[in-house]
Amino acid sequence: MYSAPDHTAPLDAAENALINDSYQQLKQSANSGRTHPLQWRTGQLEALKALLEQHQDALIQALHEDLGKSVAEAWTSEIGFLLSDIKHTLKHLKRWSKPRKVRTPLIAQPGTSYILPEPLGVVLVIGAWNYPLQLTLAPCIAALAAGNCVLLKPSELAPATSALIKKLIPRYLDPSAIAVIEGGEAPTTALLRCHWDHIFYTGGEAVAKIVMRAASEYLTPVTLELGGKSPCLVERSADIEVTARRIVWGKWMNAGQTCIAPDYIIVEECIKEALLNALKRALVEQYGKQPLRSNDYGTIINASHLARVRSYLGDHTIYHGGVIDEQRHKMAPTIVLDPNLDSALMQNEIFGPILPVITTTQISESLAFVRDRPKPLALYLFTNDATLTHRVINTMSAGSVCVNDVMLFMANPALPFGGVGSSGMGQYHGSAGFDRLSHLKSVMVRKFWLDVALRYAPFSARKLAM
């Protein structure tokens, strides 16, 4: 069992020096241009692929230690996810990095215009703990593909995975261009004092504000992958059995600790009973009658997050679940009926295994409910009604919309991922990540042989009349 170092202690001189040296080394490599050639980028991506393939067992073990992830979950949502992101990137990188030719207007003829993606320089990646491998390495894939140097700061709350990233990355990737610094608030604060070319942060809103404040010192661009409450609307025409199975799959994966997990359901009164029964059936199908004993059901990251999630139960009506195993940091899949909307449960992102179910009489009421709240990271709708589908997709703002499923849009690297409003800024995955961590430089090249005098002063009346 891995024992975590104390991440709350202030940094000593050696740790400060390590941060400074790592930063200087990366800056030097970025300035040298050695990370720019396509060959270097593909080489690094191939090496990262080899790391993931060759250390699957150790990575699965670390994810199990940190979050009780099953082999299947560790594979699909972390290792396999990253491998398919790398394969997709390797397949398209040559095309993404080519100059993108655009039209040149008459006034600039003869000439050519194009957009040339260029590396930003040195990127700081601050990862989150709930998908500790994926959320540290997916931004790294985008950063390397774009030809950047990168410093990875995995989350201290997933110490086994963080330690393995720290150990393996220098063995596979170019150590002069990719560095790893472990730890929590103290090293991250020190890192945030450096002048980065981009900061890519995944986590909660409070720290996002710290990151943005620090970035403003050098006007550094930031990507903020945040969270919030992602609503799940169920309308009367939905196939209830399939809806329930898919919601159970997405909500209770990683014990509900997923930024795009359905946070709460809003269901029409007329199908409420049927949906609740179907949810219970699906829960038993997927996790058995005693979910806390299921090898497929994960743990809450630590005691303080368990206490946070438990406090959300308050005096709500628990329709299903509610059982807690304090020692193993586990809480059974829990359904709460018609919670008080002013309660902590409905005011905060749950980020745990509780699913509130709210009832409305009409779907239009459900839409108004969502519209009155901050723009979500993901919005889910279950329906067979094409008009409603069109209305929701075209009139509701959200980071992503997914109809008749939850979370699966993440598996499509062609879809950009990110929030809107308080659920985040900036998108990544696939070409979106490449573009996000590149500067799209505008280039115009003119010829000397035609030089129209019309543009130059003096602007006589005759010139102006032309």
Give the active site residues. 225, 259
With respect to ligand NAD, which residue has the nearer C-beta, 16 or 294?
Answer: 16
Point out which residues bind ligand NAD (CB under 6 A): 126-128, 130, 135, 153, 155-156, 184-185, 188-189, 202-204, 207, 210, 225-227, 259, 349, 351, 377, 424
CB 125 within 8 A of CB 153: yes
Q: Which CB, 276 or 300, lies closer to ligand NAD?
A: 300
Minimal CB distance residue for ligand NAD: 227
Query: Do 218 and 122 contact (CB within 8 A), yes or no?
Result: no
3-state secondary structure of 399: coil
Question: Closer to ligand NAD at the Cβ: 77 or 97?
Answer: 77
CA distance 314 to 454: 75
Read off φ and ψ for residue 143, nearest 5 degrees.
-65, -45
Tokens, residue 20: 């400074």
Rg (CA), the chain: 25
Q: How far is the CB of 270 from ligand NAD (least distance, A)?
A: 32
Which structure tokens are listed for 24? 């200087």
Q: In a 3-state reduction of DSSP, which class is residue 55?
A: coil
DSSP state of 94: H
Least distance to ligand NAD, CB of residue 349, Å: 5
Nearer to ligand NAD, 130 or 366 (CB): 130
Instruction: Between 353 and 424, name the residue whose CB sits nearer to ligand NAD.
Output: 424
Q: How far is the CB of 129 from ligand NAD (least distance, A)?
A: 6
Using CA atoms, how far residue 233 sits from 1, 218, 282, 342, 434, in Å, is 42, 42, 18, 20, 33
CA-CA distance, 243 to 234, in Å (whole number)?
Answer: 8
- CA gap 298, 258 in Å, rounded: 12
We find the least distance from the C-beta atom of residue 154 to ligand NAD, in angstroms, to be 7
Q: How far is the CB of 368 from ligand NAD (least distance, A)?
A: 24
Both structure tokens of 154? 């995995």
Helices (H), 185-239: 185-192, 205-216
Instruction: Give the SS3 label for residue 354.
Output: strand
The nearer residue to ligand NAD, 2 or 114, going by C-beta atoms, is 2
Quick one: 136 or 383, whose CB is closer to ligand NAD? 136
Nearest distance, CB of residue 207 and ligand NAD, angstroms: 4
Backbone torsion region of residue 91, taken as left when φ is above 0, otherwise alpha when ψ lies between -120 and 50, otherwise beta: alpha
Q: Which two tokens stand for residue 224?
A: 């903020």
User: ∠ CA 445-448-449 to the nearest 5 degrees?
Assistant: 125
Residue 127 CB, shortest distance to ligand NAD, in Å, is 5
Q: Identify residue 232 by its one-letter amino acid code.
A: C
For the record, the structure tokens of 97 come out as 């990095």
Segment holding 101, helix H or strand E: strand 100-102
